[in-house]
Structure 1
Amino acid sequence: MKQYKLSAVAIAVAALSVFEASAAGFQVTTHSATGVGRANAGEAVIADNASVLARNPAAITRFDSQQLSLGANLVDPSTNVTNISSTFGPIADQKDVTQTTLVPNIYFVQPVNDRLSVGLAAFSNFGTSSEFSDEFNNSAMGFAGLVGGKTKITTYNANASIAYKITDGLSLGLGVNLVRGEGEITRKIGGEQPVDMLTFKGDGWATGLDAGLMYEVNENHRFGLSYRQGIKMNASGEGVAVHELAGPIALSELTLNLPDIAEFSGFHQVSDAFAVHYSVQWTKWSEFEKLTFKSDLGDVDRDYGWQDAYRYAIGGTYTISPKWTARAGIALDNSPIPAEKRVISIPCSDRVWYSAGVSYQISEKGSLDFGLTFISSEKVDVYEPLNEQLAFSAQTQTDALIYGIQYSRSF
């Protein structure tokens, strides 16, 4: 420790292993099984069930009866960190450092009259769960635990929406979001007697708005545009960071900025049986400029320098019979992390979605939906210096499977 001094600021460099296999950065885009089955292509305007509440409140004016959708998506990532090296020499490859995560959701839409509709929803927009092995954390004289460790960050979104059809073609929608965030972070120097260099566990609440519009050219062609406001999340809790001069200092709060999200979608019924749909999504990851811990000695910041990112998706839906509908899609999801800003604990890179799904009409008013997505990401090189004397390098790659199931019913 005397030779390799690590200040609280240096610890914060490795403070957040933000990763969610279903989207770039740590964004969650798996809001429904139908979306999983079409790579989220057209999600802001298709409105084939109540889950459209997660993407565009304006589109709920398409329903003329009560709608309920509930389901869950299982995100099963496989993240491998290979060719790892440090100032002290090579480190063993790490397999499957990310966690399998269940992402539930529920949506309800109530038409008030021919023009006005309201809706309630519960889902998640951001989340991550990763944990490096003791073998890794104990490597490089125990200093690898500063770039590995454990991270779990989740947001829960409760969304109330209202939409009004201004004309036969144009609808506007507005939503209010109550967001709960929970976080747990551990960084340590490993070895026979591990030393916790950073620990924090906390939670907090925040509010934000979302808005959207939908324009229906006719029954077969429509467009949607939506916007979700970024929020500042303050998680109060307890933690400790080790300062090179002051020793252990108490942490009381973690602050991070969640980004704005905008999406444009189109839907075109090109024949009685076949429809094409697409989306372009923009996420303002440049708002995620830093992570801040409040301590007894003042704020401890970690600057990220991420950039805005785009996601492009196109898909198709084919009606096989009155009972069965099939869908598929492909998407390109760009990473918001510039090459020079990559860190080992954030295995995020450009990725491609390959998706397929089916719906089965189990009754006149009820249906079951199933979706499957395979995500393939680019293998990227990472160089991560903690200070002038200690640095790590590696290659990271993540593939993932997402399984979705959903029940939808009209009343």
Structure 2
Amino acid sequence: MIKKTLSLAIGLISAQLTMAQGFYVDEQSALRLGDAFSGAAAQADDASTAFYNPAGLTRLKQKQLTFNLSAISVTSEFNGSSTTLASTTVTGKDVSAEAFDILPSIYFSAPMSEGLVFGAYLNAPYATGTDFGDNSIGRYFSTESSITGIDFGTAFGFKVSDNLSFGFSMVMQYLSATVAQAVNTSAACKGAELQGDLSPFTCPGLGIADSGLGTSTYDGQFEMQGDDLNIGFTAGMLYEFSPESRLGMHYRNRISHDLQGNATLEVPTAAETFGNLAGLVDTKAKGTATLETPSQANLSFYQGLGKFSLQADVQWTQWSSFDTLSVKSDNDVIKGVAGPQTYNWVDSYRYAIGGSYKMTPALTLRTGLALDNTPIKDKQTKIDFAFDDYKAISFGLTYDLNKELAFDFGIQKTLKQKRAIAQGDITDPSQNLSKLKGDVSTDVLSLAAGINMKF
């Protein structure tokens, strides 16, 4: 039966833009990108503080509207090999993916009374995608995947004293995901033979030779799509030692999603006979998967020094909540194909330091450095999650056209990452009858532009 012969490791969030911080995307502000997000919870210079720390809204004395457009380019390449049953080499193209995503964001703030400021934002902190193609040697693990996570938040910041402010926001989060991968139907038939479910002469009698187990001729295709809407919150604190020195803290709670949608398995006509023997038939059914966006906490410091400023940030992310991912369905075929996948990630820390220099009354230059520890343990690396610790350098600037209008620009280069993977187990029927072994190299470049209006 299919549950004994084939269980595909479905990674519902297979994100190439995620880098070391799991599937969270930092690039939500052009101003913040320029200093490597080194003082986001403390600086509070524009309306994006509604997202980074709503307590900072109390520093904004005018209405502000901030637009940002971020572009993230990611190139990933796999160097290695893939094998299936009978030690047969999986044939196909090299595994590589080039992703270019545009992420817009908008932030608004408005003072309501003395010491009370309202804020709102719309951004996409979980927005990624990749396409490895249907004929790569890694197709039995992933062919295409995408995730879109959109946050709409309303926030309030309020002063409790001249030095201390608190803030909170309610977040409505929409999350959708798509995953697709090939199904090795000929290997499923061979696997059924090896487990005694079929006669050892069945598959050869149908024209399936060991030498052809790794070709794409008889590949089926599995795809699942799902989405969900749920609510969360954030809370923050800002303490101002002086007008030029402050400390900010911010907490973002995890949001659990029950992604609901359709799962589809398509088996080619040429594979219908032995596909049926292995329990693989054309199927479309409802399915669900539970996924959480993790809790986060930031501690930031900002210090103004005349024309210069220095800032630093430490971010904790509770990636340990991402342990397993299972697709649930009332359909036996889908339950067998979409087996559980183990991640067992660990909590991670991100460290950043940055500074700025006001070159002229209108022009401010920025730079920053960041280090983010990967939450992915060596034994849990996968073709779509093979990111190592990332080290990044950022540069940026702000040009004040006048007192009401400013333009922000930022660029961040992440140093090239390389991570070894050994995914799959052809001796274990709970795996997907293929094994992938090699190294994944990843290059990331981020650009952003923004406009900030005061009125």
TM-score (norm 2): 0.83
The 8 Å contact of residues 327 and 358 in structure 1, kept in 2 or not, is answered as yes
Post-superposition shift, 1:194?
3.3
1:286 corresponding residue in structure 2: 320
TM-score (norm 1): 0.91
Letter aligned with residue 225 of structure 1:
M
1:214 corresponding residue in structure 2: 238
1:226 corresponding residue in structure 2: 250
The 8 Å contact of residues 64 and 114 in structure 1, kept in 2 or not, is answered as no
2:59 corresponding residue in structure 1: 62
The 8 Å contact of residues 37 and 373 in structure 1, kept in 2 or not, is answered as yes
More deviation, 290-299/52-61:
290-299
1:194 corresponding residue in structure 2: 219
- Deviation per CA, 1:177-218, whole angstroms, max 9, x where unpaired? 00111111111137235311x311222101101000000001
- Deviation per CA, 1:121-170, whole angstroms, max 9, x where unpaired? 0012223201112331xx4xxxx322121001110000100111001111
- Deviation per CA, 1:354-383, whole angstroms, max 9, x where unpaired? 100011111221000000110114311100
The 8 Å contact of residues 13 and 146 in structure 2, kept in 1 or not, is answered as no
For the residue of structure 1 that corresponds to 2:42, the secondary structure is coil
Post-superposition shift, 1:22?
5.5
2:399 corresponding residue in structure 1: 360
Structure 2 unaligned segments of length 5 or more: list them. 184-214, 267-274, 428-432
2:89 corresponding residue in structure 1: 89
1:303 corresponding residue in structure 2: 342
Alignment of 1:348 with 2:399, yes or no, is no
The 8 Å contact of residues 135 and 216 in structure 2, kept in 1 or not, is answered as no
Q: State the distance in 2 between where 1:382 and 1:93 align.
A: 18
Q: Could you say if the C-alpha distance between residues 13 and 47 of structure 1 is closer, same or farther in structure 2, counting changes exceeding 3 Å? A: same
Q: State the distance in 2 between where 1:302 and 1:11 align.
A: 9
1:263 corresponding residue in structure 2: 298
The 8 Å contact of residues 344 and 394 in structure 1, kept in 2 or not, is answered as no
Q: State the distance in 2 between where 1:95 and 1:357 align.
A: 34
Q: State the distance in 2 between where 1:186 and 1:214 align.
A: 44
Q: State the distance in 2 between where 1:27 and 1:82 align.
A: 26
- Deviation per CA, 1:69-121, whole angstroms, max 9, x where unpaired? 00110001111111234343376774651411011100000111221111010
Name which of 365, 379, 383 aligns with 1:326.
365
The 8 Å contact of residues 260 and 286 in structure 2, kept in 1 or not, is answered as no
What RMSD over aligned residues (CA atoms) do the two structures have, in Å?
2.3
Post-superposition shift, 1:347?
2.8
The 8 Å contact of residues 84 and 395 in structure 1, kept in 2 or not, is answered as no
Letter aligned with residue 161 of structure 1:
A
Structure 1 unaligned segments of length 5 or more: list them. none
Q: Could you say if the C-alpha distance between residues 267 and 93 of structure 1 is closer, same or farther in structure 2, counting changes exceeding 3 Å? A: farther
1:404 corresponding residue in structure 2: 448
Post-superposition shift, 1:6?
4.5
For the residue of structure 1 that corresponds to 2:320, the secondary structure is helix
Q: Could you say if the C-alpha distance between residues 321 and 215 of structure 1 is closer, same or farther in structure 2, counting changes exceeding 3 Å? A: same
Q: State the distance in 2 between where 1:126 and 1:29 align.
A: 9
2:8 corresponding residue in structure 1: 11
Q: Could you say if the C-alpha distance between residues 226 and 305 of structure 1 is closer, same or farther in structure 2, counting changes exceeding 3 Å? A: same
The 8 Å contact of residues 21 and 400 in structure 1, kept in 2 or not, is answered as no
2:437 corresponding residue in structure 1: 393
1:43 corresponding residue in structure 2: 40
Letter aligned with residue 115 of structure 1:
G
Q: State the distance in 1 between where 2:113 and 2:383 align.
A: 53
Which structure: greater helix fraction?
2
The 8 Å contact of residues 82 and 93 in structure 1, kept in 2 or not, is answered as no
More deviation, 152-161/50-59:
50-59
Q: State the distance in 1 between where 2:284 and 2:75 align.
A: 36
